Structure 1
Amino acid sequence: MSAPASSPPLHRLLSAAADAVQAVRDGHSLTDWLARCPADVRPGAQALSFTVLRRLGAVQAVRARLAPKAPPPRVDALLVTGLALLWPGETAYTEHTLVDQAVEAARRRSPKSAGFVNAVLRRFLREREALLDAQRDDPIATWNHPRWWQEQLQKDWPDVWTELLAANQQRPPMTLRVNPAQGSTASYQQRLTEAGISAHPAGELWTQALVLDEPKPVQALPGFSEGDASVQDASAQLAAPLLLGQMQPQDLSPGEAWPLLAHGARVLDACSAPGGKTAHLQELAGNHLDLLALDTDAKRLERVQQNLERLHLQGQVKAADARNTAVWWDGRPFDAILLDAPCSASGIVRRHPDVRWLRRATDIPALAKIQAELLEALWPLLKPGGRLLYATCSVFKAEGQDQIDAFLQRHGDARWRQFARGAGHLLPLADNASQDPPRGGAAVTDGFFYALLQKLPSA
C-alpha cells in the first residue's frame, strides 16, 4: 500500500495565497485564479487567501505604516498575507511558524526580500496592539470594504449598513438542497448523521435545505454523485418555488387563485450558469417542464449540463445572449421566465471576498443598464398571465427595488406580486424579518433580491 501524500509545506501555501491576493489586486477573479492553481495547494491557498481578502483593508493600512515605501508587488502580496494571518484570532499556526515559513516563501520568490519580510513581520508582532489602534479611524481599514461600497450601503440601508459590512466578514455556512426525487429532507439528514456529518434544517421557508455545522467536501456527502443532494445557499433555493407557484402571494384578490405551473409549461432560465436554479426548477416540477437554459458563456454552460445529468433531469441548454432574442428565440412564448441577472454580487461577499475589491462604483450603473436591457428583451416573450422572476444576488437597491420600480413605470401590463416572506430585498442578517431566525445568531442566507412580475392579460 502506498503512503498517503503529505500536505504541502506552509511556505508553498503562503506563496500560492499571496499569488491569489495579487491576482485580485490586478483585477482578476479569485475563482478563476483558483481554478488554475495546482490541485495539491488549492484548498489551502483558498482558505488562506479568503482570510487575507477579508482583512485586506486593515493589513494594507498597517503595511503602509510599517513600510511606507511599498515593496515590489509579489513581495508586498506575501507581506500582507503574512500580516493578515498574524492578525489576532486569525491563524491556526504559531506566530513563530508563520514568520519562519513566510520568510522561506520570500526566499524562494525573491531571495533579496527575505530579510525585509522577516523584519516587518517581527516588528508587527512587537508593536501589534499600537498598530491596530492607529488604524481604527480609517474606514477602509475598519470595515475592510472600499469607501464607495460603504457609502452605497449607508445610503440604501441607513439603519443596518454597519451590520451588513460586519456580516460580510463572517465565514458562510455550507447549505445543501435535498433532491425530493431521492428521498425526504429528514431522511437525508439521518444519512448525514450516520456518515458523521452534523446538519440542521435552515427553517420552515426552505423545505429542502440543510445547513451543515461544518463544511465538508462534496465527496463526503452521501449520494452526492448520484444526485441525492446539491450545494446551494438557502436564499438561492427560493427562486424555484417562487416561480413555480409553490409560494403564495399575499396580495391575492378575493377569489383569486395562484396556480402551480402546469406540467409541460414552457420555462426559460435566461442566465442559467452554473445551473443550480435550473436544476431546482426541474426537481420541484418532477422533471416535467419544457425548460430552456441560456447563458452567454458556453464554457460555464457545461456546468449546467453536468448539473442536470448528475440529478437525472432534462432541459435544453443553449449558448446565447438573452438580450439578442432574434438569434435564439423560436417565437413560442413562455409561461414563466427566470431572470437571474448579472449583478455586483454584493450579497454573496462572504462566499466571494474578492468581490468587494474587484468592483468599482461605476460598475453598478453599468450592471443596472444590462439588467434593464434583459428585462426589456424578455418581457415580450412572456405569455399574457405568465410570470417573470427577476433575481439578483445583490443588496444594492439600484439592482433590486429601484430596477423594478423603473420597469413598472415603463410597463403598465406588469404587476409586482408581493410576498410576506422570501421575496424583495433579503439581507444577510440574522434578524431579517423575511427569514427564519437561524441557529447561533449567525446569518444563514446570502443577500438576494426577488421580484415576481405577472403579465396582465390584454384588456
Structure 2
Amino acid sequence: MKKNTNLRALAAQTIEKVVEQGQSLSNVLPAAQKTIADKDAALLQEICYGVLRTLPQLEWIISQLMERPMTGKQRALHFLIMVGLYQLMFTRIPPHAALAETVEGAVALKRPQLKGLINGVLRQFQRKQEELTQEMNRGDQQYLHPKWLLTRLKQAWPQQWQKIVEANNQRPPMWLRVNRQHHTRDAWLTLLQESGKNAEPHPEHPDALRLEAPCSVAQLPGFEAGWVTVQDASAQGCVALLDPQNGEVILDLCAAPGGKTTHILEAAPEARVMAVDIDAQRLARITENLQRLNMTADVKLGDGCTPEKWCGDTQFDRILLDAPCSATGVIRRHPDIKWLRRDRDIAELAALQQQILEAIWPHLKPGGTLLYATCSILPEENHLQVAAFLERHEDAVLKGTGSDQQPGLQVFPDPLGGDGFFYAKLLKK
C-alpha cells in the first residue's frame, strides 16, 4: 500500500538530494515515485525535472523575496519554495491548489511552524511576478546554466553557444529505433499511424523516428516483442559509422544500458558481440534489453582501463568505445548534469578517456575499426582528445570523420534533432 505522501514535500527532498548531496536524479526519482500513487508519478517527475531545468531563475527569485536563504535543517524548505515557484511560473496547476499543497508540504517536512513563511513568500511572488520576471530575464540566470559551463561553451563555440544553451533548456524529443530484423522503418511507421500516433523519419539515420508527442512504451506497437527501442537519434549514429558485419568479433565498451549493443546485433545479427561495463547495476539493463529483443551477447563486468582482465588477449574486428564523459550533450534529458558536474571534472574525465583509449587500442586487430564516441560537446573530451591520440599512434588513421586539424564529427543538441554527440572513426593500419 503506497502512503499518502505530500508530493511537493517529496519533490523538495528529491531535489535536495541532487543539488546538496550530488546524487543523480535518475537514481533518486524512481525510488521516490515508488512511495506515491502511480497517477502522481508523472507530476513528481515534471516538478523535479522542471525545477532542475530552471534552478538559477528560481534561486534568483528567492534571493529577491527573502533576506537570507534557509540553511541547515531547514534547507529542504528552500527547495519546497522552489517547487511552489515552479508550479506558479511553468505549470497549468491552478495557483490556489499549487499554493495550498506546497504550504502543506511544510507539515510533511516536520516544520509546520514555517507554513506562514512559505505562504508569505509565494504570495509575495504572485504580487510581484511581472516585474520579477522581466528583471530575471536580463542577467546570466536567463541561460539556466552554471557560469563555468557557460564560459566553456562561449570559448569553444562562440557562434553556436546560444543555440546550444537554448536546446539544452527544452524538453527532449522522443526518438525511436525500428528493429530492422522485424520491420522496415516505413512498415513500422504505418503500424504506429494505425494506432493513432505519428512520427517523423530522421533524414540520415535509417532506423530513427521522432514521435510527434512522447508516450508510454506500452503504446508502441510490438515494443515488448522487440520491434522498436527508445534511443536518441545521435546515439543511433554510432552503428552506421561502426558498420558492423556478420561473423566479426565486436566489442561494445562502456556499453550500459545496452542500446548500442542491441543496435549492433540488429545491423549484424551473426556478429559475436561482447558488451562490457564497469557498473553492475547498469550492466543488468544490458541483459534486460537483450532479453526483450531476443538477442545474445557476451555481457561482462569490467573496467575499460584493464581490458586484459576481462578479454585476455582477444583481438576485435571493431570496437565501439562510448567513453565516460561530462554528458554535456544530453543536458535536456538530464538537467541535473548542470548541477552535478564541476569545472574540474572535465580534465579528470579527459584523463580517464585517454587511459581507456590507450588500454583498448592493442586489442584492435590490424585493419580493424575503433569508433570513439561521447555524449559531450566539449573539445577537451572530443576533437582535442582524438588529435592527441593520433599524434601518439602512427598506426591510427582517421576515416571519414572530420579533418586532421579537427578530427571527428561534433553534433549539437537540436530541438527537433538528436542530442549533442561526438564521433571519431579510427582505423588501425
Report deviation, 1:177: 0.3
| Kept in 2: contact 1:51–1:85 (CA 8 A) | no
In structure 2, the residue matched to 1:447 is 420
Which residue of structure 1 aligns with residue 279 of structure 2? 297
Structure 1 counterpart SS, 2:325: coil
Q: Distance in 2 between matches of 1:313 and 1:153?
A: 40
> 1:184, CA displacement in angstroms?
1.3
Q: Could you say what secondary structure the match of 1:86 adopts? A: helix
**For 2:248 and 2:422, how far apart are their aligned partners in 1?**
25
SS at match of 1:384: strand
Secondary structure of the 2:233 match is coil
The runs of at least 4 consecutive aligned structure 1 residues that moved more than 4 Å come to none
1:151 corresponds to which letter in structure 2? T
Give, as a single letter, the amino acid of the residue that structure 1 aligns with 2:139.
D
* AA aligned opposite 2:102: A
Equivalent in the alignment of 1:18: 12
Aligned twin of 2:81: 79
**Paired residues for 1:207-286 under 5 Å:** 207-244=206-243, 261-285=244-268
Task: Describe the SS at the equivalent of 1:37.
Answer: helix
**Alpha-carbon separation, structure 1, partners of 2:222 and 2:147:** 45
CA deviation map 1:38-90 (0-9, x unaligned): 33343221111111111100110110111121122110011011112222xx1
Give yes or no for the alignment of 1:135 onto 2:129. no
Residue 185 of structure 2 is aligned to residue 185 of structure 1: yes
Q: Does the alignment pair 1:428 with 2:427?
A: no
Which residue identity is paired with 1:22? Answer: E
Q: Which amino acid aligns with 1:325?
A: P
Farther-moved stretch of structure 1 (185-194 vs 380-389): 185-194
- Structure 1 residue runs without a partner (length 5+): 245-260, 430-441
1:420 positional shift: 7.9
Q: Which one-letter code corresponds to 1:83 in the other structure?
A: L
Do the aligned partners of 2:6 and 2:108 also contact (CA within 8 Å) in 1? no
Q: What does residue 30 of structure 2 align with?
A: 35
Q: CA deviation at 1:402?
A: 0.7
| Residue in structure 2 matching 1:344, options 311, 323, 326 | 326
- 1:308-361 deviations in Å (ceiling 9; x for gaps): 111111110000102112311221211000000000110000100100011000
CA distance in 1, matches of 2:402, 2:361: 25
1:262 is displaced (CA, Å) by 3.9
The alignment partner of 2:332 has SS state of coil
Q: Which residue of 1 aligns with 2:335?
A: 353
Q: Give the Cα separation in 1 of the matches to 2:139 and 2:301.
A: 45
Displacement after TM superposition at 1:174 (Å): 0.6
Give the deviation of 1:137 after TM superposition: 4.2
**Distance (whole Å) between structure 1 residues aligned to residue 67 and residue 384 of structure 2:** 43
Partners of 1:18 and 1:197 in 2: CA distance: 35
Q: CA deviation at 1:131?
A: 1.6
Query: Where does residue 435 of structure 1 map in the other structure?
Result: none
User: Structure 2: which amino acid aligns with 1:241?
Assistant: A
- What is the distance in 2 between the residues matched to 1:101 and 1:214? 29
What is the CA–CA distance in structure 2 between the aligned matches of 1:303 and 1:413, rounded to whole Å?
35
Letter in 2 for 1:375: L
Matched, 1:148 2:133: no
Structure 1 residue 428, shift from structure 2 partner: 1.3
Q: Specify the alignment match of 1:53 in structure 2.
A: 52
Task: Compute the displacement of 1:35 (Å).
Answer: 2.4
- 2-side partners of 1:233 and 1:262: how far apart? 23
Supply the distance in 2 between the matched residues of 1:412 and 1:282 (Cα, whole angstroms): 31
Q: Distance in 2 between matches of 1:351 and 1:8?
A: 29
Q: 2:210 is paired with a residue of what secondary structure?
A: strand
Q: Root-mean-square deviation (CA), in Å?
A: 1.8
Q: State the Cα distance separating 1:132 from its structure 2 match.
A: 2.2
What is the match of residue 108 of structure 2? 108
Structure 2 letter corresponding to 1:278: T
> What is the one-letter code of the residue matched to 1:380?
P
Other structure's SS at 2:33 match: coil
Distance in 2, Cα, partners of 1:411 & 1:194:
53
**Local SS of the residue matching 2:380:** helix
Retained in 2: the 8 A contact 1:56–1:84?
Answer: no
2:136 maps to a residue whose letter is: Q
Q: What amino acid is the match of 1:279?
A: T
The answer as to whether partners of 2:401 and 2:425 remain within 8 angstroms in 1 is no
Size of the alignment, in residue pairs?
Answer: 416
SS at match of 2:334: coil
Q: What residue identity is the alignment partner of 2:175?
A: T
Residues 401 and 423 in structure 2, CA contact (< 8 A), matched pair in contact too = no
For residues 175-201 of structure 1, give each alpha carbon's deviation from its aligned partner in whole angstroms, at most 9, with x where no partner exists. Answer: 110011111111111111121222121
Report SS of the residue matched to 2:368: strand
Question: Identity rate of aligned residues, in percent?
Answer: 40
Q: Aligned residue for 1:249?
A: none
Listed one character per residue, the Cα deviations across residues 206-250 of structure 1 (whole Å, up to 9, x for unaligned) are 111111111111111111111010000000001111101xxxxxx
Partner secondary structure for residue 331 of structure 1: coil
User: Gaps spanning 5+ residues in structure 2: where?
Assistant: none
User: Aligned equivalents of 1:57 and 1:388: distance in 2?
Assistant: 40
In 2: Cα distance, 1:385 partner to 1:452 partner = 13
> Whole-Å Cα distance in 2 between the matches of residues 123 and 131 of structure 1?
11
State the secondary structure of the residue aligned to 1:181: coil
Counterpart-to-counterpart distance in 2, 1:373 and 1:145: 29
Q: 1:14 and 1:194 mapped to 2: Cα distance?
A: 39
